[in-house]
Amino acid sequence: MKKHVLKTAIEVYASEKELSSEDQKLIKKAKQALKKSYSPYSNFKVGAAILLKNGKMMSGANQENASYPLCLCAERVTIAAADSVHPKVPILAMAITAKSASITIIKPVAPCGACRQVIFETEMKHDTPMRILLQGETGKVYVIAGGRDLLPLSFDGSLL
């Protein structure tokens, strides 16, 4: 038997005020995207914003459905919108935030497994890592170098 240890480095900032002005704008755009959330069942809003290599920013929010498996996460909504409008433009960074009707979210919220896979696949497609910025409603911001750090044992097309 051989043991492998997987490690992920995360930069932790006390608040968005410690980030570059561009990263602050991206977090702000993700927070504004919370207004686009359709979440009448969970009352858990998620907003995402991306920075494209061409300098444009886009945002999206989660879209729920009474049939829960049909729900769309903010991360996948935003990536799909970007790939539809700018199919050949890499995504350099994505900010993700969340808001709950029942509690104040004071810690960063990470993407679900499906979104991690889509983030990773998007990086592979464009051959460009995507920095991930995570923040709750307030508090610390986690900055992760790329999707591979979110999904270290990733599944890719080389296995098909």
Residue 16 is a catalytic residue: no
Backbone angles phi, psi at 81, to 5 degrees: -65, -45
Q: Catalytic residue among 11, 16, 22, 75, which?
A: 75
- 150 with 144: CB under 8 angstroms? yes
99-110 residues labelled b (16+ CB within 10 A) or e (exposed):
bbeeeebeebbb
Q: How far is it, in rounded angstroms, from Cα 140 to Cα 8?
A: 17
- What is the CA angle 96-22-108, rounded to 5? 25
38: its two tokens: 């359709």
Q: How far apart are the first and last CA of the chain?
A: 27
Q: How far is it, in rounded angstroms, from Cα 51 to Cα 82?
A: 10
Which residues are catalytic, by number? 75
